[in-house]
Structure 1
Amino acid sequence: MTVTSAPPHPRVFSPAAVVASCAGFVLIGALQALYGPAIPAFRGEFGLSPSAAGLALSAHFVGGVAGVLLFDRLHGSGRVGNRRILGASYLLMALGAAGFALAPTWPAALAMALLAGLGFGGIDYGLNQLFAVGFGHRSTAMLNILNAHFGIGAILGPALIGAVGSAHYPAVFLGFALANLPLLLCLRGVHDRAPQTPGTATQTSRETSAVTTSGSSSEGSTERSSDTYRGQVLARSLGSVLAMFVALYVLHVGIEAGVGGWEPTHLETVGYGAGAAATATSVYWLMMTVGPFLAAPIALRFSAQAIITVSCAGMTGCLLLATVPELAPYAYAGVGLFIAPIFPTGLPWLNRAAPRARRAGAVVIAASMVGGVVAGPALGKAIEWSGIRAVPLVLAGISALCLAVTLRLIRGTRTR
């Protein structure tokens, strides 16, 4: 028997393109985080109510969902290469940020926020998808490193606004727009055609073999009927798996947004001062940034299923500990550490579990953005019914559901 080694994995990114991609994630993390600290200046300049000022981030997320779906459509058509799509996304984000800084009216500013969000969504989905298939067995580790840089940007953006003052937000947005342009020069290091999603080639060869055997058999009609039935069962199975991944992403993004939004209020309610509560919330976001860096080497030794299971169990335990006032700030930091690897670690698992569902990545990433928008009002209503002190219990219930979905996914995607 002849043993052959596996062919080397085709390189999708040059070293310079990997660095530029991480810089791109710093920028999209900063962009998303710039709107909130600049709200006082929006309100003063355009005479806005708090809810009207908050529409800037909503417009950004609407554009982000559209950018994810548009990138996926162009990427799947095969007519436009990865370099052109990523380049257009960087340009859209730069134009939108510059337009937002210079907009003379609030409706124009919202239109520019939507345009920037369109580029944001293209970069977010595009780089996540390419990293998920571009590094072979190292893809999970590389995705964690990539997404950790998003957290770095989310910390640096508000710090920059705080340093220069919210009144100078146009200069910050213009500087952000200019920072996108050098990244265009590094797109030459991105392969225009990414390799097939893991499992697709194997599935195709199996189907070809089955059709060939069926055609040469005297009972070809029966075999084809059997293949049709198996195909229908597979389609239903893929639909179920995709639905569970969507649930996993929506739930965990809801927890992430819920802790970030309600931790300060809960800590103040149980006796902490406003300064201590704000500091504890900053530590939570810091742990969200540190978590993927810690998960990257772990991902080289353990499966995505194991990492996500431990993450869901860990954040559930930490949220239960947060019901104890003395432990709450430390428990929330633990939630940030455990929840951080779920998003990047789940994408390679999704690609292996549903290799024939070409749009699976776009669906779950778009769903996660929608989940971030919906989580605020939904959690607010639940907390109205249960009271502020029940915040960690409400979130722990959602986290337990997240763990249940993960365990169901493991059973549903286990290969025989």
Structure 2
Amino acid sequence: MRPLWTLPSGFAAFLALGASAAAWGAALPWLRVEYGLGPSGGEEVISAYNLGALVAILGCGLLSRRLRPRPVLAASLIALCGGLVAAALAPTWGSLLVSAVVAGVGFGGAVLLLNTAYASGPRGVVLVNLANAMFGVGAIAAPLLVAATDLPVVLLSIAGTALVALPVVAGPLGVHAPTPPVDRATVVLIAPFAVIGFLYAGVETSAGAWVSTHLTWTGTAPDTAARMTALFWAGLAVGRVLVPLVARRPEVIVPVSFAVATAGLLVATNPALAAVGYALAGLGLAPIIPTALVWLARLTPHAHLAGSALLTSSMLGNVIHPVLVGTLTTRDHPATISPAIATYAALGLITALWTARHRALAH
């Protein structure tokens, strides 16, 4: 019999995952002072964390036919907890980087397994979006906590939340059963979803990186621009709660979400409406990745491999797209920022429509 508190502990896990992902960037000023890194150092800790996450996601995906979900999830949450505790107590910069890698490994494994588990359930669209809304709450809360206290306290608090989340291991993670070999048809099925993840990252990460700059370059005061940027992230969190309440069909939700995001980014080309446009873009983007995972889980028995491909392509997009947007814009031409990001959303819309039509014809 599964514990009644499995679902709350799952949401606690996503809260910890979101907070751990967002804490490092917010903590860079503190880290630079604490470890004597200079005025522009410290970004290596974010790379170390993401490297660990990428390794875990790839490994869990490629070895999905051999790994058992429950012990791997338990190990992932323990690695996240242990890495965060070690980072909080790290005496040197090198030991902190190693701790960040360990925490990242735990993050990657837990994100993949929990998303796949929720996406594969009978209420997948609702649960996976609600769970990712909790991820967003953690991502919003972590920078506020870092600003209010020292990083070690925040990391230890997140580690404690991850530890409290361990009962989720007793939840419905799916039965470890033999799956058919991966063939060409599986790769063909997964490929467009990997493209969707890559293009989604182009919108989310580029918007997160450039909204404040766009608003500042068009005449908004920096502190006001920072507050307006929060509207984009708030849209992401709110959308993951609201959208599943009104729609349940992934093949409809994903294209419509890209369309709404595209429209919002085009609205944002008007400086007077930029904040509203970015909030609308965030609202549209919100359900794309969680719902795409549900869509994939309904189409293939290789749910972990498919989820790994989607999340890995999204992480690669996180690295590539903000840099590409930066090459297309300057302070003298801030109006290019929003259309550049909108291009990713429009390409995502085309890919999602093609995928929905192709899958409908296949059945």
What interval of TM-score do these two structures reach, taking the shorter chain for normalisation?
over 0.9
Paired residue secondary structure (2:65): helix
1:173 and 2:155 equivalent? Answer: yes
1:361 and 2:348 equivalent? Answer: no
Q: Which aligned pairs between 1:150-299 and structure 2 lie closer than 5 A? A: 150-164=135-149, 168-190=150-172, 193=175, 235-299=183-247
Q: 1:316·1:400 contact (CA, 8 Å) conserved in 2?
A: yes
* Structure 1 residues 62-98: Cα deviation after superposition (integer angstroms, max 9, x where no partner): 11111112333554215x3x32111111110011111
Distance 2:257 2:174 in 1: 34
- Give, in angstroms, the shift of residue 363 of structure 1: 1.2
Gap runs ≥5 in structure 1: 1-10, 205-230
What count of residue pairs does the alignment treat as equivalent?
362
1:105 corresponds to which of 83, 86, 92: 92
> 4+ residue stretches of structure 1 with deviation over 6 A?
none
Distance 1:235 1:173 in 2: 42
Distance 1:397 1:115 in 2: 36
- Give, in angstroms, the shift of residue 273 of structure 1: 1.2
2:259 corresponds to which of 313, 330, 351: 313
Paired residue secondary structure (1:359): helix
1:397 and 2:343 equivalent? Answer: yes
* Structure 1 residues 133-153: Cα deviation after superposition (integer angstroms, max 9, x where no partner): 1x22x1111111111110000
Paired residue secondary structure (1:350): helix
TM-score normalised by length of structure 1: 0.81
> Please, which moves more after superposition, 49-58 or 242-251?
49-58
* Structure 1 residues 324-380: Cα deviation after superposition (integer angstroms, max 9, x where no partner): 111111010000100000010001211233445761111111221222122232222
Gap runs ≥5 in structure 2: none
The 1:386/1:271 distance shift into structure 2, 3 A limit, reads closer
The 1:109/1:386 distance shift into structure 2, 3 A limit, reads same
- Specify the code of the residue in structure 1 equivalent to 2:154: V
Aligned to 1:210: none
Aligned to 2:34: 45
The 1:130/1:191 distance shift into structure 2, 3 A limit, reads closer
Q: 2:19·2:142 contact (CA, 8 Å) conserved in 1?
A: yes
Aligned to 1:304: 250
1:36 and 2:25 equivalent? Answer: yes
Distance 2:295 2:173 in 1: 22
> Please, which moves more after superposition, 109-118 or 360-369?
360-369
Q: Which has the larger radius of gyration?
A: 1
- Specify the code of the residue in structure 2 equivalent to 1:115: V
- Percent identity of paired positions between Structure 1 and Structure 2: 33
Aligned to 1:349: 295
Q: 1:59·1:117 contact (CA, 8 Å) conserved in 2?
A: yes
- Give, in angstroms, the shift of residue 244 of structure 1: 1.3
Q: Which aligned pairs between 1:379-398 and structure 2 lie closer than 5 A? A: 379-384=325-330, 387-398=333-344
Distance 1:50 1:410 in 2: 48
Paired residue secondary structure (2:25): coil
The 1:195/1:337 distance shift into structure 2, 3 A limit, reads farther
What RMSD, in angstroms, separates the aligned Cα atoms of the two structures? 2.4
Distance 1:255 1:329 in 2: 15
Distance 2:216 2:24 in 1: 25
